[in-house]
Structure 1
Amino acid sequence: MKKTLISIAVLGAMSSAAFAQSNVTIYGIVDAGIVAERGGKSGSVNKVTSGVANASRLGFKGTEDLGGGLQALFVLEGGIKADTGESDVSGSIANRQSFVGLRSKEAGTLTLGRQYTPFYNALSQVGDPFAAGLAGTAKNLFPVAGANTRNSNAAVYVTPTYNGVSAEFFYGFGEKSANSTQRQVGASLNYSNGPLNARLAYNNRNNDDQPVLGGPVAEKDTGRNTLLAVNYDFQVAKAFFMYSDNKGLNSAALANVNNPYGTTVAPVASTKSADALIGVTVPVGGAGKFIASYINKNDKTNLNQDANQWALGYTYDLSKRTTTYVAYAKIKNKNGAGYTVGNNSEAGTGDKAFNIGVRHSF
């Protein structure tokens, strides 16, 4: 009996030591809200949905000290639907992020796997006062649908920060025999110092198609996006500005491709456009925050399918981990444009939407 207890104690100590050394963390977000959408061909849509402010997720991340200032790191993160308990992508367990890499204080960080693009990081972390969530998300009009948000088979390098300046480089392998086919390249130059945060990001997406590996390649135009994102904290309020220039095929893919307003001629994704945002967040009483933004999309093609969106929101922190929220946004489409008011996880069905819900992180 004593030997058994001693063995269990030794194994437990070894397990604890290994766990501490690898520094593995289980984390996640559970976000659910009531969403009311209006103005689309589906009529009035009322539902309980997941991921309104931030996509619900379950993740594992960890680091291991390799000595000499070098660390190994990994992230495995899958999306879930808090309203049903299902995976948000059928058959996938780590569809949001899945990467492994090395980090050095002197040399920077290199990671390999499924990862966010520098373009999306600039939008969600710096330029959008709604942080890419709620009804006011900039994703409703700014071009981050599909591969512009994240991509598989990617190598990402982030430099160390020098006097507030850093850079990020992204290369997504198309994994076709024609090396440039489906390739995606991105980069950002970042500056953060005191109240000022700014990023200049670029994204280049190759749209060539090779249906059969080793077969002929159908050459298509590339999609090119340049984004400037800035925010400045005045303490009494934080101001936001963002501008995106988009050119080429899939440079501004539609978030909702199902002709949401039932027009005779379905909306067409622009191949030449510009987006501009101004916004603000204002702290209220310590735990609360008021959010507002205005976005204008300028379609520079002959269709001239412009749109604009205004949005209001309010969040209240019940604790460090639990936040309640409410938001409303409205889009005005012009000349047959088909943009919809969605949220962090959904594209939306109409030109206006209201959200109320709660988010808990762990």
Structure 2
Amino acid sequence: MNKKLIALAVAAAAIAPTAFAAGNEVVLYGQVNVGVEISARPGAEPDQTKISNLSSRIGFKGQEDLGDGLSAFFKIESAVAPDDASRSGFGTREAWVGLKGDWGSVAAGRGKSPYTQATEEFDPFYLDDSLGLTNHGSNDNYRINNAIRFDGAYGPVTYSYANSFGENKGAPAGTRSTNDFSMQAKYAAENFSLVGAYGVFKPKAGKAVKRLLLGGTFTMGDLSLSLAGQHRNDGNDKFTDPLLLVGYSMGDLSLQAGAIFWDKDTMANTKTQGTAGLFYNLSKRTVVTGEYTNSYAGVKGHNTFTLGLNHSF
């Protein structure tokens, strides 16, 4: 009897996902990215060699046709740490549910802000948590919670807007909720693109932090050149962060090099970071990467080299 029940359960499990996926287009996807990281640190800090997780993730996404050009969709993406399972977590990266049609899409949940996505246009090193050109300089919440966002397109222009509402759970009476909104737009032509983004973060106490990003990318054959500038105002100080990025592709090999100059308006806090990367495609889904970063803030810099293997599925 038990054997028959088990056989029926196995058969049902084999059939059900097929029927479910056919009606709702559920997709499993992800990346497993691991590298050997060698860091040479200034002063008394010890040098370090370690195995690093390079933003590995696993996710589910899908949609359902509701008719009349309207679809429901969802996305749940979780962090996976092959080097240390304690840093993995379900739904820690993205979690959205929404509706979409010819007019665009609207969704509620958690994930990257439009401002974050705009900075990634100028940062091919975002595959690595620590070596990104712009991830240290934006004063932006990398991912936003309790958010509603809208995405749309008009001809060659794509745009998005998101607002994150602070729930303010357990806060004393009279404490204001945090609020984080940002928007971005991109114009894409054959050989160049322009990107602009703006965001405001209002904390529970203190002044609002405002951010503005403008930049563009020009391509000529296998060569690409990107220039961007980021301006931040936290209510007390103003900072400007210019960025330069150059890329070149040769078949399966691509090279990237760039530099960002943080806090250029306040010389006491100026910091420069340069990054160079090599990416070699073993296949459409497997890439060998090598990255070198040097950061300098008026003293001997922090040097980091990473050799990684990245596999997408």
TM (norm. structure 2) is 0.88
**What is the alpha-carbon distance in structure 1 between the residues aligned to residue 312 and residue 208 of structure 2?**
38
Query: Does the alignment pair 1:158 with 2:158?
Result: no
**What is the alpha-carbon distance in structure 1 between the residues aligned to residue 134 and residue 21 of structure 2?**
39
User: Gaps (5+ residues) in structure 1?
Assistant: 209-218, 250-269, 339-349
Residue 199 of structure 1: which of 195, 199, 213 is its match? 195
Query: Does the alignment pair 1:273 with 2:239?
Result: yes
**What is the alpha-carbon distance in structure 1 between the residues aligned to residue 176 and residue 214 of structure 2?**
26
**What is the alpha-carbon distance in structure 1 between the residues aligned to residue 77 and residue 37 of structure 2?**
25
Deviation of the 1:281 alpha carbon: 1.1
**Which residue in 1 is equivalent to 2:31?**
29
1:196/1:315 CA distance change after superposition, 3 Å: same
**What is the alpha-carbon distance in structure 1 between the residues aligned to residue 245 and residue 183 of structure 2?**
24
Judge conservation of contact 2:134–2:260 (CA < 8 Å) in 1.
no
**What is the alpha-carbon distance in structure 1 between the residues aligned to residue 86 and residue 241 of structure 2?**
35
Residue 332 of structure 1: which of 288, 291, 296 is its match? 296
Deviation of the 1:57 alpha carbon: 0.7
**What is the alpha-carbon distance in structure 2 between the residues aligned to residue 111 and residue 311 of structure 1?**
35
**Which residue in 2 is equivalent to 1:356?**
307
Deviation of the 1:179 alpha carbon: 9.3
After the TM superposition, which residues 29-48 of structure 1 pair with which residues of structure 2 at under 5 Å, given as runs? 29-40=31-42, 41-48=44-51
Residue 128 of structure 1: which of 123, 126, 136 is its match? 123
* Secondary structure at the counterpart of residue 74 of structure 1: strand
Deviation of the 1:42 alpha carbon: 2.8
**Which residue in 1 is equivalent to 2:262?**
297
- Provide Cα deviations, 1:38-84, integer angstroms capped at 9, x if missing partner: 12443201101111xxx101111111111111111111111011113
**What is the alpha-carbon distance in structure 1 between the residues aligned to residue 13 and residue 52 of structure 2?**
44
Residue 174 of structure 1: which of 149, 166, 175 is its match? 166
**Which residue in 2 is equivalent to 1:149?**
142
1:9/1:351 CA distance change after superposition, 3 Å: closer
After the TM superposition, which residues 1-362 of structure 1 pair with which residues of structure 2 at under 5 Å, given as runs? 16-40=18-42, 41-51=44-54, 55-88=55-88, 92-105=89-102, 107-124=103-120, 126-131=121-126, 133=128, 136-139=131-134, 141-143=136-138, 148-159=141-152, 161-176=153-168, 181-208=177-204, 219-248=205-234, 271-284=237-250, 286-301=251-266, 304-334=268-298, 351-362=302-313
Percent identity over paired residues: 25
* Secondary structure at the counterpart of residue 130 of structure 1: helix
1:137/1:13 CA distance change after superposition, 3 Å: closer
- Provide Cα deviations, 1:300-320, integer angstroms capped at 9, x if missing partner: 34x721011222110100000
Deviation of the 1:357 alpha carbon: 1.1
Judge conservation of contact 1:38–1:353 (CA < 8 Å) in 2.
yes
**What is the alpha-carbon distance in structure 2 between the residues aligned to residue 7 and residue 76 of structure 1?**
27
* Secondary structure at the counterpart of residue 269 of structure 2: coil
Deviation of the 1:241 alpha carbon: 1.3
**What is the alpha-carbon distance in structure 2 between the residues aligned to residue 171 and residue 247 of structure 1?**
19
Please give the root-mean-square deviation of Cα atoms over the aligned residues, in Å. Answer: 2.8
* Secondary structure at the counterpart of residue 308 of structure 1: strand
Judge conservation of contact 2:95–2:110 (CA < 8 Å) in 1.
yes
How many residues are paired up? 305
TM (norm. structure 1) is 0.77
Judge conservation of contact 1:313–1:328 (CA < 8 Å) in 2.
yes
- Provide Cα deviations, 1:81-140, integer angstroms capped at 9, x if missing partner: 11133443xxx41110111011111x210010002111110111x222434637652135
**What is the alpha-carbon distance in structure 2 between the residues aligned to residue 141 and residue 71 of structure 1?**
37
Deviation of the 1:227 alpha carbon: 0.6
Q: Which amino acid aligns with 2:309?
A: V
**What is the alpha-carbon distance in structure 2 between the residues aligned to residue 187 and residue 140 of structure 1?**
17
1:282/1:15 CA distance change after superposition, 3 Å: closer
Structure with higher RCO (Cα < 8 A, 6+ apart): 1
Deviation of the 1:17 alpha carbon: 2.6
Judge conservation of contact 1:61–1:73 (CA < 8 Å) in 2.
yes
Judge conservation of contact 1:136–1:310 (CA < 8 Å) in 2.
no
**Which residue in 2 is equivalent to 1:212?**
none
- Provide Cα deviations, 1:261-305, integer angstroms capped at 9, x if missing partner: xxxxxxxxx942110111111012x1000110021123434x721
**What is the alpha-carbon distance in structure 2 between the residues aligned to residue 8 and residue 222 of structure 1?**
56
